[in-house]
Amino acid sequence: MDIILVGLSHKTAPVEVRERLSFSGPQLTESTLKLRAYEEILECVILSTCNRVEIYTTVEKPELGVARVKDFLHSCQPDMPLDGITQHLYTHKNEGVARHLFRVASSLDSMVIGETQILGQVKDAFDSALLNKTTGIVLNKLFKKSISVAKRVRTETKIGESAVSISFAAVELAKKIFSNLGNKTGMLIGAGEMGELAAQYLVNSGIKEIVVSNRNYDRALHLAKAYNGRVVRFEDFLEEMVNVDVVICSTGAPNYVIHAEHVQDIIHKRKNRPIFLIDISVPRNIDPDINHIDNVFLYDIDDLQAVVETNLRTRRDEAEKGEQIIDEEVGKFTKWFKSLEVVPTIVALKDRVEEIRRKELERTVGRLRSLSPEEVQIIEGLTNTLVNKILHNPLVALKLEAHSTNGLLYAEAVRKLFDLDIKLVERGTGETTINDEENIENDNSNH
């Protein structure tokens, strides 16, 4: 059995291709079941986000499995030429799949390193596959491990601590100016996307109150309601600035909407209480001369971009630590996965020898009718002891070689020598080999 991944992402495909091949809602369930229905696909999970579409499967024949996944993707968008799809795809196998998924879940493969949304999307994809019963022992282990690895990367590094969006950086600066936002009031001048993100970050940082002002009053009202804030009409926002501590401005106006004389008057009415102004507009909406006024802190988008770039470098440095964690965890998963290759052989060998022992014991006891129950028990104990002693070295060797490149060769040799019928190799349900697989891990840990 092999694990294969066929996918595309923001690194390999433009957004118009990603959109057409994406899966969501009921379509995801329908498509997952359709994929699992292919005879060659033993297990499957579909991870579909705005930045990637990745299909994880277990198969007996990797080349055929990859071909089937490509056929499946083409069947979902038959009006797209197959070559038009395949040119954007990448594939990984076994250890490469584990490494890729661990990096994805840990946000090391994201457009913005350290973002948190992807881990939730990985969890959702796995939950959907579990609900549709399209996973088994291998993908269950792989996806559970990816989630734990992502949590470990986030816990043991600082990959998610630095602001890497303009709106987030603006709020982080506000927190540095005012160590506690819990007793501060924030104002949003402009209710666009960046303003909305800023509102979200301010609320998450514990700001006491949000005030929203926008030329479109209904838009301002909608945003204010979303964050339990209040609305001030656009023509009145300068008067309201006397009562606020943090102002984030993003109106899209072609010129200044806040001038130095406005702020000079506001700071006088505030009795010199500090005010923090953040201009994330392009072109700027706040007069830069305001910087010369005492107790007024003004940052524009260039200042924030410098913060973001510094923080991105910090995240990249932390990502290197994350890669080391992933190297370690990929090794653990690969060791576990290789051990599965000998599990069916061990089970079949034990069953075959036990079957021979039982039949021969019954035949012998049937001939020796004068044996007492105690004597039968002694003979049975003897045969059990002989079987266990004979099997001991072969089983130990199989378990020790399970994690090496020779594991499959040893397993195949035993199958041929004992003429074993390995039915348990079909592990798609994950029910027949769990105990044996765990025993292997435990036994190997004792050597």
Computed over every residue of the chain, the mean pLDDT equals 84
| 125 against 15, higher pLDDT | 125
pLDDT number for residue 406: 67
Please give the helix or strand (H or E) that residue 380 lies within, else none: helix 373-401
Distance CA 245, CA 288 (A): 18
Q: Which residues are catalytic?
A: 50
SS3 label, residue 390: helix
pLDDT number for residue 430: 38
Distance CA 186, CA 148 (A): 37
Residue 141 predicted with pLDDT over 90: yes
CA of 45: how far to CAs of 183, 349, 445, in Å? 47, 33, 31
Global pTM exceeds 0.85: no
- AA identity, residue 366: G
pLDDT number for residue 432: 34
Give the model confidence (pLDDT) of 343-363 as tens digits.
778 888 888 888 888 898 888
pLDDT band for position 404 (cuts 50, 70, 90): low
- AA identity, residue 82: L
Residue 431 predicted with pLDDT over 80: no
Question: Per mean pLDDT, which range of 56-60, 219-223, 331-335, 406-410 is the poorest?
Answer: 406-410
pLDDT number for residue 164: 65
Average pLDDT over residues 96-111: 91
Residue 313 predicted with pLDDT over 50: yes
pLDDT number for residue 439: 43
Distance CA 101, CA 297 (A): 43
Average pLDDT over residues 197-222: 88
pLDDT number for residue 238: 93
Q: Where are the domains of the chain?
A: 2-161, 166-306, 341-445
Give the model confidence (pLDDT) of 352-397 as tens digits.
888 888 898 888 888 888 888 888 899 899 999 998 998 888 888 8
Average pLDDT over residues 14-43: 88
Distance CA 386, CA 54 (A): 51
CATH number 2.60.120.20 given to 2-161: no
Q: Which CATH superfamily is domain 166-306 in?
A: NAD(P)-binding Rossmann-like Domain (3.40.50.720)
pLDDT number for residue 443: 39
Distance CA 167, CA 193 (A): 10
Residue 207 predicted with pLDDT over 80: yes
pLDDT band for position 441 (cuts 50, 70, 90): very low
pLDDT band for position 444 (cuts 50, 70, 90): very low
SS3 label, residue 300: strand
Distance CA 159, CA 314 (A): 8
Residue 329 predicted with pLDDT over 90: yes
**Burial class (CB within 10 angstroms; exposed 0-12, middle 13-18, buried 19+) of 144:** exposed
User: Which phi and psi angles does 66 have, rounded to 5°?
Assistant: -60, -45
- AA identity, residue 302: D
Residue 223 predicted with pLDDT over 70: yes
Distance CA 326, CA 128 (A): 25
